[in-house]
Structure 1
Amino acid sequence: MAKQTPRYHAIADDLRLRIDRGELAPGQKLPTEEELTTQYEVSRNTARLALGRLTEEGLIVSAQGRGSFVRERYTPAVWNWSVLESRSAHEANHTAGDQWASLIVENGNTPRQDVSVSIRRPSVEVATQLGLDPATALAVVRERVRYVDDEPYALADSFFPEELVRGTALMLPDDVSAPGGVLASAGLIQVRYEDEITVRMPTRDEMERLALPAATPVAVHRRTGYDKDGKPLRVMITTLPGDRHVIRYDVSAD
């Protein structure tokens, strides 16, 4: 005997189809639980479960006392991480600010960054990547919230060995721009980097700082930059909401 599909699944399927077709547009309010009970002839709990299913799928968001709404859709920022921070890209960049800001401007949007700087002991993992003693070493940490048209799009935290950037512009809570990039502003030349990307659900702090709706995963991009002698110069950790970014790589088949 076939297992019967729960009634709230069918209601969620119907609402999802209406969202996919555009009958329920981004930002549009959904029927209330009471209206759904009448429309589908179900209990209020069944209607609540149907809305909860769509919330878990990231299709709708709920506002206390206001109801449920079709989730707004962001225009994704498209990144080619193969060339970001490359010297050739810096040489081709004639716009004030860093490459991130330049790309946003090229896309017709307005970038903004809130920058804070602190000196503190990094995590064991970051200290190890920087070749520092986790028990004693200090790092200069530049924390940035990056906005596109005043919407928070990403977190970008950079960790530098304190003794390496002491007294440089990287110690100031300002946007740093230099012909060779952020590292070049401190007289440091990055010749290669290693990337690591993980995907997970956000922490509570990340949800608040990025104004993330429920069921929004984030990609965490960790880039460690090295000089010509293999000395680590920086670890940059960028947290990218999954609904706002596309990451591309160009990889040779050789």
Structure 2
Amino acid sequence: MASRRHVIVDDLRMQISTGRIKAGERLPSEAQLASRYAVSTPTLRSALAVLQGEGLVEKVHGRGNFVRHPARRITYVGGGRAPNAQTATDAALRMTVRTTHLPAQGDLTALLKVSASSPLTEFLCLSHEGRSPHSLARIYVPRDLAPADGPSESSFYARVLGRMAELHPPLAKVEERVSARFPTPREAATLRISSSLPVLAITRVATDATGRVVEAARLVLPGDRADALFTHHTMSGDRRTEG
């Protein structure tokens, strides 16, 4: 016999899939739902957590639970020589960028190969689809390479690319480490995803010909909407392998 939690999950899932509850619509309050299904609040919240983990429902702090719009997929294209947090950003995604100047500390010193307290600039990039957060990136560059007047939504990447193009010597190596893991509590809250939904975590480090690290990026892409594409050209140049 199905548990009360599974009965609730199946019923709400059916209502969402058939359009009885539409994308963007707010669900009744947790108290109302608990009363409707004759269950305790913890049981109701457990059922909602399942739907949140499936990407069907998102909980917005202070506003309630909403049916999610189908997540637009994004492809991270690896192997590029330019600093780019989202190489395949869709035009429907809006980017906000927050700039912070900070001294290098903790694991940032090893990641960027700098001494403690070296001046860095962090760009916290959060993409949105409508009102819903879509993906997260933290990009770190030595402060002398950061755009002087700060980034904006539309010009950030073009300006960082332009700044990198001024480098002498040019970029020589890009190293990318990709892993699947569960989000931290802070990442789950920022992206409004369940802590049980795996994310694609990418750490990208770009180095110039002198060995100086000129950019380090940490990307977090929810697993229900992310792909990673890496293209490798063979020595002969007549074949390529994609993974």
TM-score computed with the length of structure 2 as normaliser: 0.68
Tell me which residue corresponds to 2:236: none
1:109 corresponds in structure 2 to 92
Match of 1:6 in 2: 3
- Name the residue aligned to 2:222: 241
Percent identity over the alignment is 22
What corresponds to 1:219 in structure 2?
Answer: 200
Alignment of 1:173 with 2:150, yes or no, is yes
Structure 1 unaligned regions, length at least 5: 87-97
SS in 2 for 1:239: strand
Question: 2:26, 2:55 → 1: CA distance?
Answer: 15
Q: Distance in 1 between matches of 2:61 and 2:187?
A: 21
Q: Cα distance, 1:180 vs. partner?
A: 5.7
Contact 1:11–1:50 under 8 Å retained in 2: yes
Structure 2 match to 1:156:
137
Structure 1 or 2, whichever has the larger Rg, is: 1
Structure-1 separation of matches of 2:63 and 2:94: 31
- The structure-2 alpha-carbon separation of the partners of 1:142 and 1:187, relative to structure 1 and needing over 3 Å to count, comes to farther
Secondary structure of 1:128's match?
helix
Tell me, yes or no, if the aligned pair for 2:85 and 2:219 is still in contact at 8 Å: no
Paired position in structure 1 for 2:235: none
Residue of structure 1 equivalent to 2:123: 143
Q: Check whether the contact 1:139–1:159 (CA below 8 A) recurs between aligned residues.
A: no
3-state secondary structure, aligned to 1:191: strand
SS of 1:198's equivalent in the other structure is strand
Q: Greater strand share, 1 or 2?
A: 2
Cα distance change, pair 192–29 in 1 and its aligned pair in 2 (3 A):
same
Cα pair 2:79 2:174 within 8 Å, conserved: no
- What is the letter of the counterpart of residue 12 of structure 1? V
1:131 aligns with one of 104, 113, 116: 113
Which residue pairs with 2:213 in the alignment?
232
Residue segments in structure 2 that go unaligned for 5+ positions in a row:
233-239
Task: Please give the root-mean-square deviation of Cα atoms over the aligned residues, in Å.
Answer: 3.9
Q: Is the 8 A contact 2:100 2:122 kept in 1?
A: yes
Aligned residue among 67, 70, 77 for 1:70: 67
Aligned residues: 227
Q: Deviations over 1:60-115 (max 9, x none)?
A: 234578654323333223332234628xxxxxxxxxxx7858x54xx443644424
What is the CA distance between 1:146 and its match in structure 2? 3.6
* More displaced 10-residue stretch of structure 1: 26-35 or 71-80: 26-35
Q: Is the 8 A contact 2:78 2:176 kept in 1?
A: no
Question: In 1, Cα distance between the equivalents of 2:208 and 2:140?
Answer: 15
Give the AA of the match of 1:61. E
Contact 2:92 2:129 in 1 (8 A): yes
Q: How far apart are residue 120 of structure 1 and its match?
A: 0.3
